[in-house]
Amino acid sequence: MDRRIRGLILPGLFTLAGFCVLVGLGAWQVERMGAKERLIARVEARLTQPAVPLPPESAWPGLQAKVVDYLKVSLSGRFLHDKEARLNGFLSGSRTGDTAAGFFILTPLVLADGSTVIVNRGFVPTALADPAARKAGQVDGVVTVTGLLRPPEMPGYFVPPNDPARNIWFSRKPDEIAAAFGLVRAAPFVVEADATANPGGWPRGGNTRVSFPNNHLQYALTWFALAIALLAVFFAFARQRLRAPPA
């Protein structure tokens, strides 16, 4: 065998392996794009549907996040305002970059059967963190809440852990809130209230962000382009090597 051809075997094998990896990554991104598009379609369909009664307590252990996330529900009960958790957060304004620091008010709602659901009633600015500064919004008696059912939040690496002992919260964890306040029969999810105004205007609900970045096509094309570029480099290398005079 010509030494020029023998010299192409090892580079060719590495090129083939790299090509297969790159194409596989591109195909994976295409698959993820399809899954993301199905998720977006599913959520958009749920948001246009009327509210349904909250699933009964007996069904809570079997609820799957992908099935009930963003499900519009309606529930009634009495708020336990003395057990509210204030979740650190920001509220985006109408202009780009216009944000306000404050808290999302997570308050237990005791249902008629004695079970409890944590309700994200909405946002308050830092100046209204103290419930005494928004007494009008501390409604008594039975209330009806309509909102979106949300599973526990999976915080990122840079999100500080919750500090239940000091009632400092950075992520939506209904089980931790229930344990901190001694709540029993608490739902493993949170209901984020809609924009129905509260007395006094605070907390301000309807802040659920429904946004799913879908850049998978761009990523897929990048991987496929790299695969093609790798082949082009190898063929250019092989052509140059084969054109060289035999040693």
Residue 57, in any domain of the structure: no
Q: And the tokens for 246?
A: 């035999």
Query: Does residue 143 share a domain with residue 107?
Result: yes
Query: Does residue 193 share a domain with residue 109?
Result: yes
Residues in CB range of 224: below 8 A, 6 or more apart: 22, 23, 26
Query: Does residue 88 share a domain with residue 138?
Result: yes
Query: Does residue 84 share a domain with residue 31?
Result: no
Query: Does residue 93 share a domain with residue 187?
Result: yes
Give me the percent of the chain exceeding a pLDDT of 70. Answer: 96
Residue 47, in any domain of the structure: no
d(CA 12, CA 17): 9
pLDDT tens column, 130-140: 999 999 999 99
CB crowding 58-85: b at 16 or more within 10 Å, else e = eebeebeeeebbbbbbebebebebebbb
- Encoded amino acid at 106, one letter: L
Tell me if 104 sits within 8 A of 170, measured CB to CB: no
What pairs with residue 89 in β-bridges? 102
Q: Which pTM value belongs to this model? A: 0.76
pLDDT tens column, 103-162: 999 999 999 999 999 999 999 999 998 999 999 999 999 999 999 999 998 877 888 889
pLDDT tens column, 35-65: 888 888 888 888 888 999 999 999 999 988 8
**How many domains does the chain divide into?**
2
Query: Does residue 193 share a domain with residue 77?
Result: yes
- Residue count of the chain: 247
Query: Does residue 219 share a domain with residue 196?
Result: no
Give the model's confidence band at 93: pLDDT under 50 very low, under 70 low, under 90 confident, else very high.
low
Full residue range of the structural domain in which residue 153 is found:
71-201
Residue 58, in any domain of the structure: no
